[in-house]
A and B are shown apart, each in its own frame.
Chain A
């Protein structure tokens, strides 16, 4: 069975500081990994995804994530936080083959302090 753990339900950073949101996964087969962002009163929007190939994945809004198989991690980073980055972020895992559901983490709320 697959699962996702997001460390830290709330993260605060200063504007201009590094953003690091942690995600560890558990999967018995090679995973597909995703990061989604949710702004208040909105649905989720895909930030980036890893399926195969290059382990460093670049997404929208300056975010990137690195797939580390040995650490079973897929942490999300952004070099410099902007006020508009304040939102809730979800890590998710799935895998290929058949009709696979996506399992989401519990989410991390990012607060950006001016």
Chain B
């Protein structure tokens, strides 16, 4: 079974631009979560989607948004990029949201650099 894939793997953007990151979950998984990882803040939860609906949201500004498609693939968008948005963005998939085990499978991440 193929793992979680994220595209692109690396991205360089300029302040003020917007960016869209993509995540394809493991086949059969319906839940996709997004995390931002930085050296200073560690892993911070952005949001979770299940069956095309946002089920949970972290404490990030409205510039961060996401969506999930009927095939469970997910995208996240960051508008008006700031230098502080430079981070590794990780996507994780799981069979269900709120499942008793809540075991997540992570993709390799997208390294975003904002200049």
Contacts and interface: CB of A to CB of B under 8 A. Distances in A.
Interface of A: 32, 34, 36, 41-46, 49, 51, 90, 94, 96-107
A84 B42 CA distance: 23
A102 B102 CA distance: 8
A101 B101 contact: no
A41 to B, nearest CB: 7
B42 A107 contact: yes
Contact of A32 (B92, B102, B108): B102
A87 B55 CA distance: 31
A33 to B, nearest CB: 11
Interface of chain A: mostly helix, strand, loop or mixed: loop
Contacts of B97: 99
Nearest to A45: B106
B28 interface: no
Contacts of A97: 98
Contacts of A45: 106
21 contacts: A34-B103, A36-B106, A41-B108, A43-B106, A44-B90, A44-B104, A46-B104, A46-B105, A49-B101, A49-B103, A90-B43, A96-B98, A99-B48, A100-B56, A102-B102, A103-B45, A104-B35, A104-B42, A104-B43, A105-B42, A107-B43
B107 interface: yes
A40 to B, nearest CB: 11
Contact of B103 (A46, A96, A99): A46
B102 A100 contact: yes
A103 B104 CA distance: 12
Interface string B47-88: 010100001101000000000000000000000000000000
A103 B45 CA distance: 7
B4 interface: yes
Contact of B48 (A41, A43, A44, A101): A101
Nearest to B35: A104
Contacts of A94: 102
A51 B101 contact: yes
Contact of B55 (A36, A51, A99, A107): A99
